[in-house]
Amino acid sequence: MKDNVVVIGVTPTTSLIFDEEFPELQKVNIEAYDIHYSKSIPLVLKLLIDAPRIWAAIKKEHFQLEQIVKTYHIDVVISDNRFGLYSNQTDNIYITHQLNIQAGIFSSFANKIHHYFIKQFHTVWVPDLQDEKTSLAGKLTHHHSIKNHRYIGPLSRLPKTVFGSAKYDYLCLLSGPEPLRSELEIALITKANQSNKTVCIVRGTHHVLQSFINKNVEVFDAPHADDLASMIVNSKTVICRSGYSTLMDLHHLQKTNCILIPTPGQDEQEYLAEYWSLKTGFSMMKERDLKHFKFS
Residue 157 belongs to a domain: no
User: 248 and 154 in contact (C-beta within 8 Å)?
Assistant: yes
Residues 48 and 177 in one domain: no
What pLDDT is stored for residue 164 in this prediction?
80
Residue ranges of alpha helices (H) inside the chain are 15-21, 43-49, 51-72, 107-118, 180-193, 225-233, 244-252, 267-279
Shared domain check, 124 and 32 = yes
Q: What CATH number is associated with residue 212? A: 3.40.50.2000
Please state the separation of Cα 73 from the chain's center in Å. 29
Examine residue 213 and state whether it is found in any structural domain, yes or no. Answer: yes
Which amino acid is it at 70?
A: K
Q: DSSP secondary-structure letter at 288?
A: G
Taking residues 234-259, what's their average pLDDT? 97
- 158 in a domain, yes or no? no
Residues 64, 143 share a domain: yes
Confidence (pLDDT) at 40: 64
The number of folded domains in the chain is: 2
In a domain, 160, yes or no: no
Per the domain annotation, does 162 fall within a domain? Answer: no
pLDDT band at 37 (very low <50, low <70, confident <90, very high): low
In a domain, 76, yes or no: yes
d(CA 15, CA 55): 22
Domain presence at residue 161: no
The DSSP line for 207-234 is SPP-S---TTEEEESS--HHHHHHHHHT
- DSSP letters for 81-96: S-TT---TTSEEEEE-
Name the residue range of residue 121's domain.
7-151
Indicate whether 31 belongs to any domain. Answer: yes
Regarding whether 142 and 200 lie in a shared domain, the answer is: no
Q: 39-63, pLDDT tens digit by residue? A: 666 666 777 777 888 899 999 999 9
pLDDT of residue 130 exceeding 90: yes
pLDDT at 147 exceeding the cut of 90: no
**pLDDT tens-digit readout, 167-195:** 999 999 999 888 899 999 999 999 999 99
Q: Are residues 48 and 180 in the same domain?
A: no
Q: How confident is the model at residue 284, as a pLDDT? A: 97
DSSP 262: P
Q: What is the pLDDT of residue 168?
A: 97
pLDDT of 36: 67
